[in-house]
């Protein structure tokens, strides 16, 4: 009788409707994204290096927060961008927020600027949102020598020269650090033009462009890099700003574990089927 029950169980597993498996995976994905579990996550040396670059910058220094992501890459770029913005706020860095890809204005206004507002920082004194500027690398190169000559007005139409924070920020020599939120290739612009001007560059990048930036990281041209959603989650952990990065890692870990278990069960069921036939 026990053997018969076992045969019934394995026979059921052999013929299970694949839609049930899809629903199991969907449930895992939805649950872990909505309710972060906080599974153990080891922080990689590269994420630690990124964090230590920020830690070395004295409080209150001026920096550039460049949003060179797109709406499509934001699910991977966004968690890191938000965690970095929260860290910046805690250190009271004077921050210029801009970007050279069209989605920069939308993403900055919706996700980044509210973090500065909620922290009670004063616009024009603690941070400035310049929005999107066309020209790509050409504009980035010009900004190294003449920020106010390139950017006449901020996103809200205020004259840059009238904003108190910008009175002492004229060029790259007045900036302590560039942070690039990179879903495209914006980091390369800063490596080629701002790094030679003496400004360290760090970046959080989507997974598909990590390999292209590793040589810059190895040579020191790029001072730090968060690598994909895992790097973002590690930075959230380091700074105690748990958000969607940690949720995404929970989701990936549990979903992949479930897939491995289902594959193992499927193979065991298949082997038992062969043995019974043989």
The predicted pLDDT at position 1 comes to 44
Residues 163 and 185 reside in one and the same domain: yes
User: pLDDT class for 10, splitting at 50, 70, 90?
Assistant: low
- Beta carbons of 246 and 237 less than 8 angstroms apart: yes
Of residues 258 and 192, more confidently modeled: 192
The predicted pLDDT at position 47 comes to 92
Residues 108 and 13 reside in one and the same domain: no
CATH code of the domain containing 235:
3.40.50.620
Residues 86 and 201 reside in one and the same domain: yes
Q: What is the rounded average pLDDT of the residues 178-203?
A: 95
For residue range 199-237, what is the model confidence (pLDDT) as tens digits? 999 999 998 899 999 999 999 999 999 998 888 888 988
The mean pLDDT of the chain is 88
pTM of the model: 0.80
Which residue range forms the structural domain that includes residue 73?
45-241
Residues 84 and 180 reside in one and the same domain: yes
Residues 203 and 269 reside in one and the same domain: no
| pLDDT over 70 (residue 271) | yes
Both structure tokens of 143: 């900004």
Instruction: Compute the distance between CA of residue 37 and CA of residue 250 in angstroms, rounded to an integer.
Output: 7
For residue range 96-141, what is the model confidence (pLDDT) as tens digits? 999 999 999 999 999 999 999 999 999 999 999 999 999 899 999 9
């Amino acid at each position: 009788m026990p053997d018969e029950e076992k045969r019934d169980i394995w026979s059921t597993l052999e013929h299970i409707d694949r839609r049930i498996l899809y629903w199991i995976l969907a449930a895992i994905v939805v649950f872990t994204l909505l309710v972060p579990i906080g599974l153990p996550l080891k922080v990689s040396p590269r994420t630690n290096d990124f964090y230590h670059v920020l830690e070395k910058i004295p409080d209150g220094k001026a920096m550039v927060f460049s949003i060179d992501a797109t709406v499509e890459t934001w699910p991977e770029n966004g968690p890191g961008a938000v965690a970095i913005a929260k860290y910046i706020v805690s250190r009271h860095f004077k921050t210029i927020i801009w970007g050279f890809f069209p989605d920069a204005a939308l993403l900055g206004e919706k996700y980044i600027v509210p973090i500065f507002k909620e922290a009670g920082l004063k616009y024009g004194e603690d941070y400035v949102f310049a929005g999107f500027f066309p020209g790509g690398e050409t504009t980035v190169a010009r900004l190294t020598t003449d920020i106010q000559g390139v950017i006449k007005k901020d996103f809200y139409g205020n004259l840059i020269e009238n904003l108190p924070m910008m009175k002492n920020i004229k060029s790259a020599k007045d900036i302590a650090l560039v942070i690039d939120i990179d879903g495209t290739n914006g980091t390369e612009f800063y490596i080629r033009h701002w790094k030679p001007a003496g400004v360290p560059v760090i970046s959080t990048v989507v997974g598909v462009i990590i390999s292209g930036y590793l040589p810059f990281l190895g040579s020191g041209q790029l001072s730090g890099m968060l690598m994909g959603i895992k790097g973002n989650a590690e930075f959230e952990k380091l700074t105690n700003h748990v958000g969607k990065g940690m949720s995404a890692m929970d989701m990936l870990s549990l979903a992949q574990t479930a897939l491995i278990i289902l594959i193992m069960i499927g193979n065991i069921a298949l082997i038992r089927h062969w043995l019974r036939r043989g």
